[in-house]
Each structure stands twice: as structure tokens, then as C-alpha cells.
Amino acid sequence: MSLLPRTLLARVMLLIALLLAVGQFAALKLFDYFESEPRAMAAALQAITVVNYTRASLLAAHENRRLALLSELSGREGVRIYAADMLEEIEPLPRDYLIRMVAEKIRERLGKDTLVVLNHFGIPGLWVSFSLGQDDYWVVIPRIQVDRPFPWQWLGWGALVIMLSLLGAYLIASNIHQPLRLLVKAAGRLSSGEYPPPLPEEGAHELREVSRTFNEMTEALVRLDNERTLLLAGISHDLRTPLARLRLSVEMLPDNECASLKTGMIQDIGDMDSIIHQFLDFVRGIEGEPTQMMDLNTLLTSIADRHIRAGRKLAVSLAPTHLIPLRPLAMQRLLTNLIDNAFAYGSNEVTVSTRITAGNIIVSVLDNGPGIPAAQMERLLRPFERLDTARGNKSGSGLGLAISDRIAKLHKGQLTLLNRPQGGLEARLTLPIQPQVTAQTKQAFRVNVQPRRQ
């Protein structure tokens, strides 16, 4: 989740850069479009002036002097004059908007019969025809100012504008990104069962409102959790005292009178005490316990030894040792709940196995009981949810799996319930292996542990 604001910032910056580039390109195109007509008009006037002066010079000269004048005019300022034959092949103008506009402007001033050709007979320049009596001539203008050099300075100024705009956009986006990053991080901690510190209420008005609302929501959840904890803890504590007196009174009854009733009452009192104990576990909370680098196999071995000493059939198959960050008491409570649940609702044979995948350690608690309907599995991970008909109608508060799921999420893990193909239920705990932990401890702490089977 922490990558979300960073990805959003990158997308915003990329979008702004794209819009700025498109805007700069569109501005250059618009400028070039609106500037093309004045440039075409200037080039046409240049050509028209040369043609008119040339014609005026020839008209003013005597007919016997025209050939000499043509020779004299040709070559001056690069302008050349050739006799024209109207039967010669005329190539069409190139499909260039600016050149065609120049030719149109020339024809508007010199007449519609004026021919305008580019690079005629392989001689570069703009060729414009004119008539003088019965004679036709070409005026070749070699350096007509139609095209202008590429405006590299525009690119420089455009790049400067884009850089300054991106810098301003980055500063604005950063002010949005920082509160969003803190909000995503706080929401992640809240979803895992932790209460984050208050968010700073700064930045844009909308972001301040979001941070303030989130802080108020967090405070409300903290108050609600504290009130619930106080209420349940008080009730549980107050109930245990009369239960203890009641059990003492029942145990003092004579054994020869109603022995079966006495045994049943003691068992009922024990069940009630166990339920109260689960209430206390649920409200006590485990968020404050510090995390330690521990071997999960050590906890499983210790728990398995206690069950074996109690006469239970518990088989253990452990993967090689691997250190991961754990909260010892909370993880012990989770594993004990899963194993006790397997013995309570399954058969008298339970198997605990572990395996290591690419990025996780998976713990499976397997029993041979009747299993659970697939549609009800997620519901059983919520507090006070029970499904008596599917698992033997055992008594309980419905908090064991909820406590286990809460501890799993606190460890950034996941608890799932799966029906086994051969019958029974698998409670699967998936715990992530932190990458930095793997790099530092994989070689130093990996040892082979022989599987324990009972």
C-alpha cells in the first residue's frame, strides 16, 4: 500500500509533462500557421518587385538594347532572366502549403496567366514568368525568403518553460503526496489492528479535512476499543469470582450422592471459566508486545511437548529452522488456539506441519474431523461466530479463531481454513519472511531439524 501515493505522484508528473509537451507543440504549430501568410506575402512581394523592375527596365530600353540589357541584368543580385517558351514542359509545384500560397499571392498581383515554377530545368530558385509584347521571359529568384531556419531557440525556451512548470508541479504534487503517503501508512496499520499516531493536519484544505476526519475516526475507534475492553474485562473478572465459589461448593458435595451430576456441573463450570478466559484474551490485546527474531520451530516444539505430556496424539513435521520477526506470547496463543481447536472439534489425532516457500513460512494444523462448509469459513474468523452443527456441537465462545486471525494479521500474515480432500480441516497460517531478515540470517541460522513424529 505504501507504493500507491508514489505511483500516483509519478503518474501526475508524467501527465503534466505530457500535457505541457502537447501544449508547447500546439503553440508552435499555431504560431507557424498564423505566421505563414505574412511570410508568404513578404516572399511574394519580393518576387513581384523583381519581376516589375525587370519588366520596367526592358520596357524603358530600346528594342535593339534589350538583349544587351538582359545579359546585363542576368547575374545581378543572383537574379537571372531567361527567354521562355510557353510550349516547354512545366512541372507542378510541390505539395507545400507555403510555396503554393506564395504562388497564389504572385498570381493575384501579376495576373492569373503568370506561371510560377520551382527549380525549373534543374536550376534552383523560384521561376516567375512575365510577358513583354509578344515575348515571354522567366525571372529566376534564387534566394527567396520563404523558408526560415529551424527555431532552435524556441526549443530552448520551451524546454525551460517545461522544466519550470514540472518543478512547480512537483512541489505541488509533493505537498499532496506526503499527506497521502502518511494516510496510506496509517490506514495500513489500522487495518492490521494497530492504532497509528495522529496524522499532521496540514497541506491543502481538502487534505487537512481528510487528515482531521481520519484522526477523529481513529480516536473514536480507540475509545470504543478501550470501553469494550473495560466492559468485557470487568464482566469477566466479576464472573470468575462467583464461579470459583460455585466450583468450590460443588466439589465439596459428597461423592456418593449424584456423582454424575456433580461431575457434569464441574465440567460446565470449567467450560464457563474457559469462555471467560477467551474473553480476557480477546480484550487484553497483544499490540504492545515487542517483536523479536525467533525460530517458529521452537514455539511449535514447546507447544507439542505440552500436548504430548497431556496424553494427546500430536504429530509434528517441521521444515528447516528459519528466523522471522515474531511476538512470542501472541504467536504462542495463536498456535495453541489452533491446536486446541483441532482437538476440540476434530478427532483425537492432530498433525502440525511447516514448510518454507519463496517468501513465506506456512504452518498447517490438520485434523480428521467433519470439516466446515466452504461458504461458512470466512464467517468463522469473525468474533462470536460459531457453527455447532458442522463441528460436533462443542461449547465455546466463538473467539478462538477470531483471536488467531487478529494475531496473524498483526504479523502481516494470513489465516485460512481449508477442507482436506481426505476429510477433516486444515487451519493454514501463512507468515511472511522479511527480505532483509532473509539476507542477514539465512546462512547464519539455518540448521536442519529432524522431523518429530509421535
Quote the pLDDT of residue 352.
92
CA atoms of 185 and 421, how far apart (whole Å): 40
* Across 299-318, average pLDDT: 88
Residue 238 scores a pLDDT above 90: no
Rank 84-88, 103-107, 165-169 by mean pLDDT and report only the highest.
103-107
- pLDDT tens track for 137-167: 888 887 665 555 556 666 677 778 778 777 7
b/e 250-274 (16+ beta carbons within 10 angstroms → b): beeeeeeeeeeebeebeeebeebee
Residues pairing with 138 in the sheet = 82, 129
* Across 106-134, average pLDDT: 85
CA atoms of 447 and 433, how far apart (whole Å): 17
Closest CA to 363 of 413, 308, 294: 413
Between 17 and 257, residue with greater pLDDT: 17
Sheet holding 349-356, edge to edge: 313-317, 349-356, 360-366, 425-432, 414-419
Rg over CA atoms, the chain: 46
CA atoms of 442 and 311, how far apart (whole Å): 36
> Cell numbers of 263, please?
461431575
Grid cell 470501553 — which residue? 227
Q: What is the pTM of this model?
A: 0.46
Percent of the chain whose pLDDT exceeds 70 = 76
- pLDDT tens track for 403-424: 888 888 888 889 988 888 888 8
Quote the pLDDT of residue 436.
42
Average pLDDT across the chain, whole number: 76
Establish how many alpha carbons lie within 13 A of residue 186's alpha carbon, considering only the half-sphere containing its beta carbon: 21
- Phi then psi for residue 248, to 5 deg, are -60, -40
Quote the pLDDT of residue 44.
85
Quote the pLDDT of residue 256.
65
- pLDDT tens track for 333-371: 889 888 988 888 777 789 999 999 888 999 999 988 887
- Quick one: pLDDT band at residue 283, thresholds 50, 70, 90? low
Between 218 and 7, residue with greater pLDDT: 218
- pLDDT tens track for 199-230: 888 777 788 888 889 899 988 888 887 777 77
Contact 163, 155 (CB under 8 A): no
* Across 181-193, average pLDDT: 81
* Across 13-36, average pLDDT: 75
Contact 222, 195 (CB under 8 A): yes
Quote the pLDDT of residue 281.
62
Closest CA to 123 of 159, 81, 174: 81
Contact 351, 317 (CB under 8 A): yes
Quote the pLDDT of residue 363.
93
* Across 91-112, average pLDDT: 84
Quote the pLDDT of residue 7.
66
Quote the pLDDT of residue 440.
37
Quote the pLDDT of residue 63.
66
* Residue 14 neighbours by CB distance under 10 Å: 10
- pLDDT tens track for 62-85: 666 666 666 666 665 567 878 887
